[in-house]
């Protein structure tokens, strides 16, 4: 049997809007977990005074998470449908976990935004939509959850109000609304998840599972030059240094001549391994370990990017970026030097100049050379890394052009590189 196309699917949204419960319910209703496991979790949840959290426990594997009733790390689960094999990423909702959300979402082919029908759009709903957009998640599905708890229940008018609210939010970041399904669901009761709901006869669209199957298959960027950010470097007896990472773009083959930047060390690919199997080549989305002739463990490190010698990864002396400021306690002005997180690198970079403020509704320049920017602003900025950094123009290699900016334990902004000034 041919392997079905693979999709990374991330669940995002405000805390307590029911993301984990929705994921648990989806896995149960598609036969990926058995009812007795849910029953066991239900008993456990009730003993902890957390009745109703049983589905969430499916994803919240960590004991600490169960006790707090909060999702901390990014959990991954496999789910097969007749069309795709999905890796489900349940992204945390809490602020302090946004960093995980960023590493989780940057790899997503599609997102399900969960919005509580009673609460509507909340601060984190906004933040997650902005992040998903800025980090380049191509498709989004809106699940309006807890429809069983509207007054009266399964209330069409309330669904429409939430749909309108979310539509405004999506339009702010230029999402194509006609490509976005809005689905009324109840994760807890299990309505409109894997089959059409009997309780909402007024709703004519797909159930959640049908909407997932209707997503367009992700295109593998095999036509772009190889970019393989290094996550780790191991020393393996008999082989030597083995860098490990996920291929973002292009293809790696045994015999290729590659270079690691910014370390500027290179050589010939001797072997490639994935899931403990030797391969001749690997492509985007594959997590591989590989060995390069003449490269020692001390030569390269996490944050380096491997690429072909003749189309080497760009080392930035400086770069121009468009950023969205998500939250900052005061203002961002030239001289500010927070940590930029991109692919596997974390590098402090300085805001040398704020070139323009952008009107989020029109995408046009609202103000040139402002003195500062603050939460909610979108701006064009000129950035100088404090040490060598690989970043690409988002128009050329989008997978290496997006980043998050963190400071004081939180994500203050997210953005994309629109122009690289290369180091000679």
- Cβ-based burial of 302 (10 A; exposed 0-12, middle 13-18, buried ≥19): middle
Q: Is the confidence at residue 106, as pLDDT, over 80?
A: no
* Mean pLDDT along residues 296-308: 95
Q: Give the helix/strand (H/E) hosting 112.
A: strand 110-116
Q: Which has more pLDDT, 55 or 422?
A: 422
When mean pLDDT is compared across 130-139, 250-259, 291-300, the lowest value belongs to 130-139
**Average per-residue pLDDT for the chain:** 87
Rounded CA separation 418/420 (Å): 7
**Residue 155 phi, psi (nearest 5):** -80, 115
Count the alpha carbons within 13 Å of 180 in the hemisphere toward its beta carbon.
Answer: 24
What are the C-alpha distances in Å from 37 to residues 46, 69, 74, 392, 406? 14, 18, 21, 46, 39
Rounded CA separation 274/257 (Å): 19
pLDDT at position 72? 42
Q: Give the helix/strand (H/E) hosting 131.
A: helix 123-134
Q: Which two tokens stand for residue 141?
A: 């599905």
CA angle 11, 182, 88 (to 5 degrees): 20
Q: Is the confidence at residue 271, as pLDDT, over 50?
A: yes
pLDDT at position 73? 47
Rounded CA separation 315/389 (Å): 5
Q: Is the confidence at residue 101, as pLDDT, over 60?
A: no
The pTM assigned to this predicted structure is 0.67
Q: Which two tokens stand for residue 360?
A: 């989020």
Question: pLDDT tens digits for 257-270?
Answer: 999 999 999 999 99
Q: Give the helix/strand (H/E) hosting 278.
A: strand 277-279
pLDDT at position 172? 81
* Beta-ladder partners of 202: none
Contacting residues for 302 by C-beta, under 8 A, at least 6 apart = 230, 231, 232, 233, 344, 345
**C-beta separation of 251 from 227 below 8 A:** no
Alpha-helical regions (H) of 173-321: 208-213
Indicate the pLDDT class of residue 222, thresholds 50, 70 and 90. very high
Question: How much of the chain, in percent, has pLDDT values that exceed 70?
Answer: 88
Per DSSP, the chain holds a count of helices (H) and strands (E) of: 8, 23
- CB count, 10 Å around CB of 123? 12
Q: Of 153, 138, 240, which Cα lies nearest the Cα of 191?
A: 153
**C-beta separation of 303 from 388 below 8 A:** no
Question: pLDDT tens digits for 109-124?
Answer: 899 999 999 999 987 8
Would strands 139-145 and 110-116 be described as parallel, antiparallel, or unpaired?
parallel
Q: Give the helix/strand (H/E) hosting 168.
A: helix 156-172
* Mean pLDDT along residues 88-102: 54
Q: Is the confidence at residue 13, as pLDDT, over 90?
A: no
Q: Which residue has the tokens 């994500």?
A: 411
- CB count, 10 Å around CB of 212? 24
pLDDT at position 75? 56
Domains and CATH numbers, the chain: 6-213 (3.40.50.300), 228-311 (2.40.30.10), 315-422 (2.40.30.10)
């Amino acid at each position: 049997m041919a392997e079905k196309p693979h999709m990374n699917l991330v669940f995002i949204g405000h805390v307590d809007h029911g993301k984990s419960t929705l994921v648990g319910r989806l896995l149960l209703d598609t036969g990926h977990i058995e009812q007795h496991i849910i029953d066991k979790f239900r008993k456990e949840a009730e003993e902890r005074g957390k009745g109703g959290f049983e589905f969430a426990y499916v994803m919240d594997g960590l004991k600490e998470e169960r006790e707090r009733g909060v999702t901390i790390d990014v959990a991954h689960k496999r789910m097969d449908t007749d069309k795709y094999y999905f890796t489900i990423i349940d992204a945390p909702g809490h602020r302090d976990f946004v960093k995980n959300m960023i590493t989780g979402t940057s790899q997503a082919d599609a997102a399900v935004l969960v919005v509580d029908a009673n609460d509507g759009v909340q601060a984190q709903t906004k933040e997650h939509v902005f992040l998903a957009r800025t980090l380049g998640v191509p498709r989004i599905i809106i699940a309006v959850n807890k429809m069983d708890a509207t007054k009266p229940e399964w209330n069409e008018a309330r669904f429409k109000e939430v749909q309108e609210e979310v539509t405004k939010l999506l339009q702010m970041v230029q999402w194509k609304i006609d490509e976005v399904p809005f689905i009324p669901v109840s994760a807890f009761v299990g309505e409109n998840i894997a089959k059409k709901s009997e309780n909402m006869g007024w709703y004519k669209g797909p159930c959640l599972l049908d909407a997932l199957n209707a997503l367009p298959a992700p295109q593998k960027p095999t036509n772009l030059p190889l970019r393989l950010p290094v996550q780790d470097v191991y020393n393996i007896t008999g082989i030597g240094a083995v860098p490990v990472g996920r291929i973002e773009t292009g293809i790696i083959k045994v015999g290729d001549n590659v270079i690691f930047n910014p370390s500027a060390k290179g050589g010939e690919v001797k072997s490639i391994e994935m899931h403990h199997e030797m391969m001749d080549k690997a492509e985007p989305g594959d997590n591989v370990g590989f060995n390069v002739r003449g490269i020692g463990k001390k030569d390269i490190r996490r944050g380096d990017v491997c690429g072909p010698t003749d189309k080497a990864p760009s080392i930035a002396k400086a770069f121009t970026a468009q950023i969205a400021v998500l939250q900052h306690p005061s203002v961002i002005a030239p001289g500010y030097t927070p940590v930029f997180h991109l692919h596997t690198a974390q590098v402090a970079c300085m805001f040398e100049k704020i070139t323009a403020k952008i009107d989020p509704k029109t995408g046009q320049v609202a103000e040139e050379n402002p003195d500062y920017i603050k939460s909610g602003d979108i701006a064009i900025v000129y950035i100088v890394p404090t040490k060598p950094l690989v970043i690409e123009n988002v128009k050329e290699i989008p997978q290496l052009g997006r980043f998050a900016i963190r400071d004081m334990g939180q994500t203050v902004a997210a953005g994309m590189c629109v122009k690289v000034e290369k180091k000679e």
